[in-house]
Amino acid sequence: MTQRTLGGTNRKRRRTSGFRARMRSHTGRRVIKARRSKGRHRLAVA
């Protein structure tokens, strides 16, 4: 049976693309703003 590689970790996911990580930089804030204006239900990785 083959192994499932490339699993991903939740800690890394939150730290790089979480809400607080986005709010840290100017471009990240722009991402949140764009997703708000588009009407996204989820602004960042929950």
Q: What's the pTM? A: 0.78
> What is the pLDDT at residue 8?
92
Query: How far is C-alpha 2 from the chain's CA centre?
Result: 29
Chain segment 1-46, per-residue pLDDT in tens: 888 889 999 999 999 999 999 999 999 999 999 999 999 999 999 7
DSSP per-residue codes, 6-45: ----HHHHHHHHSHHHHHHSHHHHHHHHHHHHHT-S-SS-
